[in-house]
A and B are shown apart, each in its own frame.
Chain A
Amino acid sequence: MKYLITLVVGMAVGVAAFLALLFYNPMTSQNKLSPLSVSDNDVIVFNYSAVAEDALVFTNDGESTVAPYPSKVLQLWEPTVRLTSTMATVMRDSRNRPAAIGIKFSSRSESTRILNGEAIVDSAWHIYVPGRGSLFVEQRENYWNYLREIVIPAHRSSGDNWRGNWSGNITSGPGALGTARVFGGSGEFADLETDGVESLSAKAYSANDGPVAIDGKLAVELPAPNSDATLDP
């Protein structure tokens, strides 16, 4: 009997050691430098608040940490959309002026591989910039560092919250350099095909309510006219 108990305790220690290795594995850290920061082209920046209550509308399955906003919005409770959240928000330019209406669809991805430090979300932005045109942004986002450095510490905190200064890119593809694919739909963006990067800047997170003070930034590269630069494959 004591051998069985020893084996079980050993297994528990083994599982805990594995999870600790996974959690503290420095190999899964993401590059915090945006690939667009070394671009010679113009970059258009859309800023938004990642706090649900700052959005026009935020909805999900209604049972997640982040509550839908406004409270009476239709919830995505059906099995096929249960792992999806949708946000409509006003996006601001670098001077903090309202610049666009952005709608973001985010679905937890089956390509998530915890072993590789990949907590993947497949997302798409539908953006309309009055007077300029519309954009569609396809991206694969990796929230592993966000979970590891903000969400889990918030749950481990005695106050059930996290405060600090954290920033990082969440875009991890589908471009080979970890960039999003951006397609222009109308206006001056018509037929545009370029790259984008979305990043988060976090200051406060609550384990009970989700983001408290987190800003998002979507940067889109605007190739120079007649540019022969090739897209990130």
Chain B
Amino acid sequence: MIKTFIAGILLGLAGAAAALHYFPAVNQSREQSLIVVHPNRGNTESFHVNIPMDRVMTGAPSQKEPLPVGLEWPVDPRFADTRAELFKIRNGKDAVVGVASRIAANNASSGDIVEWVLHLPARGSAYVIMEAEALEDGYRTGNLATGTREFAPLVGRVTEHWVADTSGAEDAPAGRIEITTAFVAREVEEE
């Protein structure tokens, strides 16, 4: 009987160790990446934000209807020219694949800035610095400043563009912010 009990203890120890080793504690859900590979090197991927349904936060001073309801933007005057937004971001199939922040500020010392951080939990984060001035056609361009995990070895360009909805459908969004990335491996770019 005592041998059976000891065998049980050993089995329990081994089983618990094996379970913790072989079964992942965290398993991030993934959507298929919809990347277009171009023959002249690099690839592009499109994301979008449906407005207003994907807007998590709009932080800016003196808002009549803050988003979310109950948001109390700091009254300190140093934040008067700062606008911070949070969004869910979607892929080409309209599936949510991550979250993003966009900070725009106009400050005499640090200049005009427009920046994005795209955070895709299963893939990594991309830190994008945009040009302060949008182009005449409404596009704003920028560069991938740095990235984490999947985006770490990449460099490239990013564009943002507001597209108003013209479908007229009752449940259609007012429009969408389209974000298109054109990335290439850093080694290829340096060749």
Contact = CB atoms under 8 A, between A and B. Distances in A.
B20 A115 contact: yes
Given A11-B9, A73-B56, A185 B25 contact: no
Contact of A74 (B1, B56, B101, B113): B56
A80 B30 contact: yes
B177 interface: no
A135 to B, nearest CB: 9
B173 to A, nearest CB: 14
A23 B103 CA distance: 42
Given A70-B68, A124-B117, A185 B9 contact: no
Contacts of B103: 101, 103, 126, 128, 134
Q: Which of A2, A86, A101 has the most CB of B within 10 A?
A: A101
B8 A103 contact: no
Interface in B27-75: 27-31, 54-57, 59, 68-74
Given A12-B12, A130-B82, A57 B29 contact: no
B111 interface: yes
Contacts of A86: 56, 86, 99, 119
A12 B8 CA distance: 8
A15 interface: yes
A56 B88 contact: no
B113 A186 contact: yes
Contact of B125 (A71, A114, A138): A138
A14 B113 contact: no
Interface in A1-47: 2-3, 6-19, 22
Interface residues on A, range: 35 or more
Contacts of A19: 16
A9 B9 CA distance: 8
A48 interface: no
Looking at chain B's contact residues, the main secondary structure is: mixed
B96 A112 contact: no
Contacts of A141: none
Contacts of B149: 122
B7 interface: yes
Given A11-B9, A14-B10, A80 B29 contact: yes
28 contacts: A3-B4, A10-B8, A11-B9, A11-B11, A15-B13, A18-B17, A19-B16, A71-B70, A72-B69, A74-B68, A80-B29, A80-B31, A80-B96, A81-B99, A88-B86, A103-B117, A105-B125, A107-B28, A107-B119, A124-B125, A128-B105, A128-B115, A130-B105, A133-B110, A134-B113, A138-B125, A185-B127, A188-B109
Interface of A: 2-3, 6-19, 22, 56-57, 59, 70-74, 76, 78-84, 86, 88, 90, 98, 101, 103, 105, 107-110, 112-115, 119-120, 122, 124, 126, 128-134, 136, 138, 183, 185-188
Interface of B: 1, 4-17, 20-21, 24-31, 54-57, 59, 68-74, 76, 78-79, 81-82, 84, 86, 88, 95-99, 101, 103, 105, 107-111, 113, 115, 117, 119-122, 124-125, 127, 129, 145-146, 148-149
